[in-house]
């Protein structure tokens, strides 16, 4: 983005153009203001055809009624009940990562010539079967589960087993890595920018003291600096550097002399957009004031950033993700002082705010910090609250009996 100084860059992957939008305002013109036509998905060879997700997964479904059913089923209160596990980031949407995207017929070659597609396809089928079995098992539990909701919805919406499976597994695939990476970026930022940490703690101390930890009501009404800090972290090191999953337009579109044929793969470069010094002066400095009393600098949407993507296709887990972040990060800052870790000689290590993984969902490389309870009373309180949480969640503490082996037999 810096080199070409052009708001739209086309990368050719074989004969397929990939448009990368480098500028907040142009991204908004296309993906937000014309969300009526830029809310579909392009053809994905690996992330779609090879893993048989093109017609079964919300993330890859083209814009339309089937996609609406998936969104509807997912934005259900019970989703918030789910426990999430970690899934490794894969570089499905990085242009040029898979040769198959440029030369789709490679995906059709026999596996003795080119084995990657069949390996990925088999892995995905196994994964899908595993999640279907887990959903069935979850549906049989005594407690309310999302599995119950999904299996009840299956005949009503004529969902295939694969669709049920992706609806369940997307919560993990879409939700875990993104949320936990943001939490890590927050911890890194607090250790690196102690003044921000102090301001945040001053607000938490004023509202809560060390008498009680925060409630949902505090999050909703009393903690504007916390909300601004979380927004700033989501901007500062947006997990999805290329805005998650590319969009595609459903009809041909002309924009300021550029012709964008229907079905074009188009995505926002959040790393560039959120660090453009015109919109965010000193972009690598964490400064929640950018979002504190309205927006400090103009931005094409009210939120002032796009960490959850664009328009109608915006992340369907956003409310869950934001609530989780406000709650957990507020508590971390209230409960602990966060400082750089110590090396073997007892000296503070130097933290690197640019040491992030080179993946489409990025997270900080491992770093050393010290977290110490801020007062003995707080320490007591967090231990007691942890015990209460464990007790309350015990009803979900059921060991799964489904194994990958069973999934392999059924796949």
Question: Residue numbers of the site for ligand HEM (CB under 6 A)?
Answer: 58-59, 71, 79, 170-171, 174-175, 178-179, 182, 239-240, 243-245, 247, 307-310, 313-317, 320-321
Specify the pairing of strand 265-268 against strand 16-21: parallel
CA distances from 211 to 41, 199, 332 (A): 50, 19, 15
- What angle (nearest 5°) sits at the alpha carbon of residue 274, between those of residues 273 and 276? 65
How far apart are the C-alpha atoms of 88 and 410, rounded to whole Å? 24
Classify residue 277 by burial, with Cβ atoms within 10 Å: 0-12, 13-18, 19+: exposed
Nearer residue to ligand HEM within complex by CB, 41 or 290: 41
- The H or E element spanning position 339 is strand 336-340
**Residue 315 marked as a ligand binder:** yes
Nearer residue to ligand HEM within complex by CB, 58 or 145: 58
Nearer residue to ligand HEM within complex by CB, 41 or 208: 41
Nearer residue to ligand HEM within complex by CB, 91 or 116: 91
As measured in angstroms, the least distance from the Cβ of 59 to ligand HEM is: 4
How far apart are the C-alpha atoms of 370 and 347, rounded to whole Å? 12
In 140-193, alpha helices (H) = 146-156, 161-192
As measured in angstroms, the least distance from the Cβ of 31 to ligand HEM is: 7
Nearer residue to ligand HEM within complex by CB, 47 or 333: 47
Nearer residue to ligand HEM within complex by CB, 210 or 305: 305
As measured in angstroms, the least distance from the Cβ of 131 to ligand HEM is: 14
Least Cα distance to 8 among 241, 365, 19, 16 occurs for 19
As measured in angstroms, the least distance from the Cβ of 368 to ligand HEM is: 24
Residue nearest to ligand HEM according to CB distances in the complex: 317
As measured in angstroms, the least distance from the Cβ of 301 to ligand HEM is: 12
How far apart are the C-alpha atoms of 85 and 67, rounded to whole Å? 25
As measured in angstroms, the least distance from the Cβ of 268 to ligand HEM is: 8
As measured in angstroms, the least distance from the Cβ of 69 to ligand HEM is: 11
CA distances from 293 to 115, 228, 262, 282, 283 (A): 55, 9, 40, 19, 18
- The H or E element spanning position 391 is helix 376-393
- The H or E element spanning position 20 is strand 16-21
Nearer residue to ligand HEM within complex by CB, 184 or 378: 184
Which residues does the annotation place in the binding site for heme? 315
Which residues does the annotation place in the binding site? 315
């Amino acid at each position: 983005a810096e080199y070409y100084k052009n708001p739209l860059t086309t990368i050719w992957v074989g004969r397929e153009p990939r448009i990368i939008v480098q500028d907040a305002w142009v991204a908004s013109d296309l993906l937000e203001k014309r969300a009526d036509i830029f809310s579909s998905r392009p053809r994905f060879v690996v992330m779609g055809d090879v893993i048989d997700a093109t017609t079964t997964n919300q993330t890859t479904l083209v814009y339309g009624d089937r996609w609406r059913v998936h969104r509807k089923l997912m934005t259900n209160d019970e989703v918030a009940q789910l426990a999430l596990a970690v899934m490794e980031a894969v570089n499905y949407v990085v242009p040029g990562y898979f040769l198959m995207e440029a030369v789709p017929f490679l995906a059709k070659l026999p596996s003795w010539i080119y084995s990657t597609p069949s390996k990925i396809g088999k892995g995905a089928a196994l994964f899908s079967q595993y999640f279907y079995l887990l959903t069935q098992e979850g549906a049989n539990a005594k407690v309310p589960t999302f599995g119950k909701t999904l299996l009840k919805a299956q005949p009503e919406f004529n969902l295939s087993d694969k669709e049920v499976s992706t609806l369940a597994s997307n919560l993990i695939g879409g939700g875990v890595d993104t949320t936990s990476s943001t939490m890590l970026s927050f911890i890194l930022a607090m250790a690196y920018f102690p003044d921000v940490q102090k301001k945040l703690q001053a607000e938490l101390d004023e509202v809560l003291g060390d008498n009680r930890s925060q409630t949902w009501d505090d999050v909703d009404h009393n903690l504007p600096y916390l909300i601004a800090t979380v927004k700033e972290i989501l901007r500062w090191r947006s997990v999805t550097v290329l805005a998650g999953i590319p969009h595609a337009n459903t009809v041909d579109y002309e924009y300021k002399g550029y012709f964008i044929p229907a079905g074009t793969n188009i995505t926002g470069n959040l790393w560039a957009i959120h660090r453009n010094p015109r919109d965010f002066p000193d972009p690598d400095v964490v400064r929640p004031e950018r979002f504190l009393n309205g927006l400090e600098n103009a931005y094409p949407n009210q939120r002032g950033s796009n960490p959850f993507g664009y328009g109608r296709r915006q992340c369907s887990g956003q409310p869950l993700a934001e609530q989780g972040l406000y709650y957990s990060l507020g508590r971390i800052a209230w409960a602990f002082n966060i400082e750089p870790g110590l090396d073997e000689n007892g000296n503070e290590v130097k933290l690197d705010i640019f040491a992030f993984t080179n993946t489409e969902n990025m997270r900080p490389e491992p770093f050393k910090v010290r977290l110490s309870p801020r007062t003995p009373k707080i320490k007591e309180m967090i231990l007691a609250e942890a015990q209460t949480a464990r007790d309350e969640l015990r009803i979900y503490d059921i060991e799964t009996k489904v194994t990958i082996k069973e999934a392999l037999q059924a796949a």
